[in-house]
Amino acid sequence: MDKYRLHYAPDNASLVIRLTLEEMGLSYDTALVDRRAGAQNGAAYRALNPTGLIPVLETPDGAIFETAAILLWLGDTHPETALVPAPDSPQRAAFLKWLFHASNTLHADLRMLFYPEKYIGAAPDDQRRLQAMLKVRIATHLRNLDAACATAPTLFIGPSASDDRAGPSALALYLACMMRWMALYPRNSDRSWFRLSDTPDLARLLSRLETRASTVTAARAEGLGPTPFTQPHLAQPPEGSAT
């Protein structure tokens, strides 16, 4: 394989990987996972990822799934891109703890918020109680991440955070996508609990990311519009479906 293949669905977690590949300037092609047709549950996709979750990145080392694992592998395989601190960097430990907090804690809580029926059953009252608890938890996660962005900005914007041209870290791209989804989902639920202004340092980060060529390219490919992070709307992709 002379380039990567990203198995994606529009505005899914694969968006994080598309942004990262674009930011790194790496050659890749895409393979749509048609969620409406249940392609993520088909034998071909399950052979790549037995969990059926999106994304999968096919690489010369084989197919990789789990968003954080893909980000870390890409960063270590292409250290010149500086989206992930090198193993001998003094920032490596701090970066890893926040990356896996984003993946294992924040993203996991979002999945329960968006799909409560998968975790607590079909009873509406049970779902509402679970979602209310999760909104409090997620707001706390965001405050902690906002504080980290304020005190250790180079974990989010490269080694020269004060330089307006400095690129984002993989962690920043991951957070931007999740904060986009918080503003949009679940569609039939009150989302007034999420206000970008509550996390001013992350808000500035998201505004900065929207000016990047990588964001413009990914937003065009997936129908996300010109302000996919600060004023998002539901995706209108040229192919496939976000849900």
Whole-number Cα distances in Å, 112 to 30, 90, 107, 214:
28, 34, 9, 29
Question: Considering the domain boundaries, does residue 65 fall inside one?
Answer: no
Question: Considering the domain boundaries, does residue 173 fall inside one?
Answer: yes
The Cα–Cα gap between 98 and 161 comes to 17
Question: Considering the domain boundaries, does residue 110 fall inside one?
Answer: yes
- pTM of the predicted model, to two decimals? 0.96
Q: What is the pLDDT of residues 29-50, one digit of tens each?
A: 999 999 999 999 999 999 999 9
Question: Considering the domain boundaries, does residue 42 fall inside one?
Answer: no
Over residues 81-105, the mean pLDDT reads 97
Dihedral pair phi/psi, residue 71, rounded to 5°: -60, -45
pLDDT of residue 152: 96
Question: Considering the domain boundaries, does residue 55 fall inside one?
Answer: no
Q: What is the pLDDT of residues 133-156, one digit of tens each?
A: 999 999 999 999 999 999 999 999
Q: What is the DSSP string of 29-46?
A: EEEE--TTTTGGGSHHHH
Domain ranges, residue 113: 92-212
Measured in whole angstroms, how far is the alpha carbon of residue 9 from the centre of its chain? 13
In the numeric block, which tokens belong to residue 124? 């509406």
Over residues 91-120, the mean pLDDT reads 97
Question: Considering the domain boundaries, does residue 56 fall inside one?
Answer: no
Overall number of domains in the chain: 1
Question: Considering the domain boundaries, does residue 140 fall inside one?
Answer: yes
Whichever domain contains 200, its CATH number is 1.20.1050
Question: Considering the domain boundaries, does residue 166 fall inside one?
Answer: yes
pLDDT of residue 103: 98
Given a cut of 50, whether residue 112 has pLDDT beyond it is: yes
Are the CB atoms for 58 and 4 separated by under 8 Å? yes
Are the CB atoms for 109 and 134 separated by under 8 Å? yes
With pLDDT > 70 as the criterion, what percentage of the chain qualifies?
96
The residue whose two tokens read 């900065």 is 208
Q: What is the pLDDT of residues 156-205, one digit of tens each?
A: 996 544 455 679 999 999 999 999 999 999 988 888 999 999 999 999 99
First to last CA, the chain: 30
